[in-house]
Amino acid sequence: MSGRPEILFPLFADLTKLDGVGPKTAQHLAQIDIEKPRDLLFSLPYSGIDRALKLSVNDAELPDTVTVQVLVGTHRAPRNRGGAYRITVQDAQTSFQIVFFHARSDYLKKVLPEGARRVVSGKVEFFDGIAQMVHPEYILSPDEADEIPEFEPVYPLTSGVTQKTMVKAAASALTRAPEMNEWIDPSQKDKAKWPSWREALEQVHHPASLNEVSPTSPARERLAYDEFLAHQLTLALARSQLQRAKGIISQQTGALQAKVRAALPYQPTGAQERAIEAIARDMQIEARMNRLLQGDVGAGKTLVAFMALLVAVEAGGQGVMMAPTEILARQHLAGLQPLAKSAGVVLEILTGRDKGADRRAKLEALARGDIHILVGTHAVFQSDVHFADLRLAVVDEQHRFGVRQRLELGKKGAGADVLVMTATPIPRSLALAQYGDMDVSVLDEKPPGRQPIATALVSTGRIDEVVDRLKRAVAEGKQAYWVCPLVEESESVDLTAAEERFKVLRAALGEGVVGLVHGQMPPAEKDAAMAAFQNNQTQVLVATTVIEVGVDVPNATIMVIERAEIFGLAQLHQLRGRVGRGAQASTCLLLYQAPLSENGSKRLNVLRDSEDGFKIAETDLEMRGAGDLIGTAQSGLPRFRIADVESQASLMAVAQSDARKLLHDDPNLTSDRGQAARVLLWLMEQDQAIRLISVG
């Protein structure tokens, strides 16, 4: 299938072909992402106005839009220009006034002649005890009254576009919507009582009542499902592309894992055991593993990842663990070193810092298979890096490896299994939207011996008390983080915020006690400042949010977050997770600027009262919406026009299983339904999927 199916041509034509849309209107519509008839069909009314004929304005709860038949009475022109022109009218039960401003009396006498009957429709409000309709939207003689829609849809507008234009253009776009073959599973469609695609569009653009404007109406639900299905088909195609590439069978012996278990000072949690088992199962079948390991802060992802890497080594192969930064790669190395020692496997690190002879020696050892497990940054992607037998790649997804990079990594080891770790608990609905191409393991239990973190809200007015408290803590040999907000998007501003705070704390706590890390520093300086804090040479680290990613300093027991109210909840939860890593009790102080908005205080209270990252993420999603939560720009999360990821999460789950089943039964989408699904992918502009089909 090389190009867009012909049946869709009318929907991708020029907007100006539609009734009432000239070049100027088309420009205005582009402001709200409406560039072709298809976009207009998917821009649904968000509300509606009931214009059914009533006997009297008395029958309405005012203020409201009312449509009534009236007998026109006396006209009263204003004394001064621009004043109110009033016409008294009588409906079946009462009299009221129709009011115009800046009116021309000759025109009004023609439209509303005294003694005539007219049907008028417009907003009626009480004003000084008299019901008034100001500037009616419709004035018609009784025999034309059926031109008034009983229920009028209300569209989202942009400047320069009126409701009338939208109604007209949408109606015109509808005439171009073809009957299409059904891409939804027939049993799913029957069960949900959904109309066909064409009927659904007719219904959503001509709602008969407010119920039909709600997302739960069958027609809207169907159109939302179409968007989810197209998205999940794209992910499922990417997934089958990965799986079709033959994987390698890695059969574990359990010998190395047993050594690590014997050396562990604790029992792995049930969640860890389940994840380890699922991964080993995936690795011993031929299809390539593509699994997401989701764990809350401190849920023990490292152990699970290492056990997975050992399966690769037990099966005679190699494993690689990738981290987004040098500092995190070194930290993974430090965390894995004792485990590797107990298992007796060779662990090495490769980063951009390795140069010359040193780098060459590592690359040779890697190619010979003398290095069992390699930890590294994206330097591992470079073309001169060759593995003897790469079986498993573990990706620490701190910087959002998208579907594309996941495919890229697969190329390094022809059949390597892929395990992606994320420390951000993602609500199920978003996990489906973002990682629908993967199987998911969740670590939702905390390992024993983790200290709870006491969290308190403190207003910035009491900052001096906080500084005094830090002084005492430092004197007792404790360490603390002080996080400054990323103000605006301008980095120079954060810089000053962090530098000012650094100066104030240095003056209060003494030279040599306080370190500083921010995004503008050269990497080497940043690493040096972090290392000084890790080795307890500095006791307080002032930082912008660069430290939220996995830095581990067990002796740090205090986390101060300045202007906490402007951070995202998930981010605050991540930052808080930087303390509470040692045996001592830890504290997190959320400094906020009073007065807090109701929303702000609700968010900070959720954080104070819960340490469950999944619960916090759900709340964050409810309060901020999906796009904000993961920053849509870099998230790979699609923008849906009709569907709503939060409230329709269950539909997304159905779409995922449906898409996977369809591709399982019809991998090349050649059946009738498969062909219809191809049209859906074109309709929803899923370019990535279309490329995958045309390649496959």
Give 446's DSSP letter: P
pLDDT band at 635 (very low <50, low <70, confident <90, very high): very low
Q: In this structure, what CATH number is given to the domain that contains residue 132?
A: 2.40.50.140
> What's the rounded mean pLDDT across residues 336-362?
91
316 and 436 fall within a common domain: yes
19 and 71 fall within a common domain: no
Name the percent of the chain lying above pLDDT 70: 89
More confident residue, 244 or 237: 237
144 and 164 fall within a common domain: no
pLDDT tens sequence across 178-192: 999 999 999 999 999
For residue 512, what pLDDT is reported? 86
Paired residues of 72 in beta bridges: 89
Per the prediction, the chain carries an average pLDDT of 85
pLDDT band at 128 (very low <50, low <70, confident <90, very high): confident
For residue 399, what pLDDT is reported? 47
41 and 56 fall within a common domain: no
d(CA 88, CA 347): 91
Whether 562 has a pLDDT exceeding 80, the answer reads yes
Closest Cα to residue 121, out of 46, 73, 69, 61?
69
Whether 580 has a pLDDT exceeding 90, the answer reads no
168 and 133 fall within a common domain: no
| Number of independent structural domains in the chain | 4
**What distance lies between CA 525 and its chain's CA centroid?**
33
Q: Token match 């907000």: residue?
A: 485
More confident residue, 177 or 594: 177
> What's the rounded mean pLDDT across residues 391-398?
81
> What's the rounded mean pLDDT across residues 386-397?
87
Paired residues of 510 in beta bridges: none
pLDDT tens sequence across 405-427: 555 555 555 578 888 888 777 77
> What's the rounded mean pLDDT across residues 565-576?
82
Whether 395 has a pLDDT exceeding 50, the answer reads yes
For residue 36, what pLDDT is reported? 93
**Residue 79 resides in a domain:** yes
Least confident of 577-581, 612-616, 648-652, 670-674: 612-616
Paired residues of 393 in beta bridges: 320, 418
**Residue 240 resides in a domain:** no
Closest Cα to residue 560, out of 474, 629, 480?
480
491 and 602 fall within a common domain: yes
Cβ–Cβ contacts within 10 Å for residue 432, how many?
23
Q: In this structure, what CATH number is given to the domain that contains residue 473?
A: 3.40.50.300
Whether 144 has a pLDDT exceeding 60, the answer reads yes
Question: SS3 helix, strand, coil % of the chain, rounded to 5?
Answer: 45, 20, 35
pLDDT tens sequence across 277-315: 999 999 998 888 888 898 876 778 889 999 999 999 999
Closest Cα to residue 550, out of 403, 330, 271?
330
For residue 408, what pLDDT is reported? 57
**Residue 653 resides in a domain:** no
23 and 70 fall within a common domain: no
189 and 41 fall within a common domain: yes
> What's the rounded mean pLDDT across residues 571-592?
84
Least confident of 165-174, 248-257, 342-351, 540-549: 540-549
Closest Cα to residue 84, out of 45, 129, 14, 133?
133
Of the three residues 584, 610, 636, the one that is the final residue of a domain is 610
Whether 629 has a pLDDT exceeding 50, the answer reads no
261 and 313 fall within a common domain: yes
**Residue 616 resides in a domain:** no
For residue 186, what pLDDT is reported? 93
Closest Cα to residue 176, out of 291, 8, 319, 29?
8
**Residue 671 resides in a domain:** no
SS3 label, residue 632 = helix
Least confident of 43-57, 374-388, 435-449, 465-479: 435-449
d(CA 286, CA 274): 21
d(CA 441, CA 438): 10
Task: Give the amino acid at 586.
Answer: S
Does residue 386 contact residue 412 with C-beta atoms inside 8 Å?
Answer: no
For residue 630, what pLDDT is reported? 40
Q: In this structure, what CATH number is given to the domain that contains residue 185?
A: 1.10.150
For residue 244, what pLDDT is reported? 64
pLDDT tens sequence across 200-223: 999 999 998 888 888 889 999 999
pLDDT band at 12 (very low <50, low <70, confident <90, very high): very high
For residue 243, what pLDDT is reported? 65
**Residue 651 resides in a domain:** no
587 and 475 fall within a common domain: yes
Whether 510 has a pLDDT exceeding 90, the answer reads no
**Residue 509 resides in a domain:** yes
pLDDT band at 71 (very low <50, low <70, confident <90, very high): very high
Task: Give the amino acid at 201.
Answer: L
For residue 172, what pLDDT is reported? 94
For residue 627, what pLDDT is reported? 42
409 and 532 fall within a common domain: no
**Residue 336 resides in a domain:** yes
DSSP 283-319: HTSSSPPEEEEEE-TTS-HHHHHHHHHHHHHHTT-EE
Look up the domain containing 115 and give its range: 52-148
pLDDT tens sequence across 520-557: 778 778 878 888 998 899 999 988 865 645 567 888 89
H or E stretch covering 466:
helix 463-475
Of the three residues 595, 610, 625, the one that is the final residue of a domain is 610
H or E stretch covering 48:
strand 47-50
Of the three residues 580, 610, 640, the one that is the final residue of a domain is 610
Closest Cα to residue 398, out of 423, 419, 378?
423
For residue 551, what pLDDT is reported? 64
516 and 576 fall within a common domain: yes
Task: Give the amino acid at 93.
Answer: Q
Least confident of 325-339, 371-385, 390-404, 482-496: 482-496
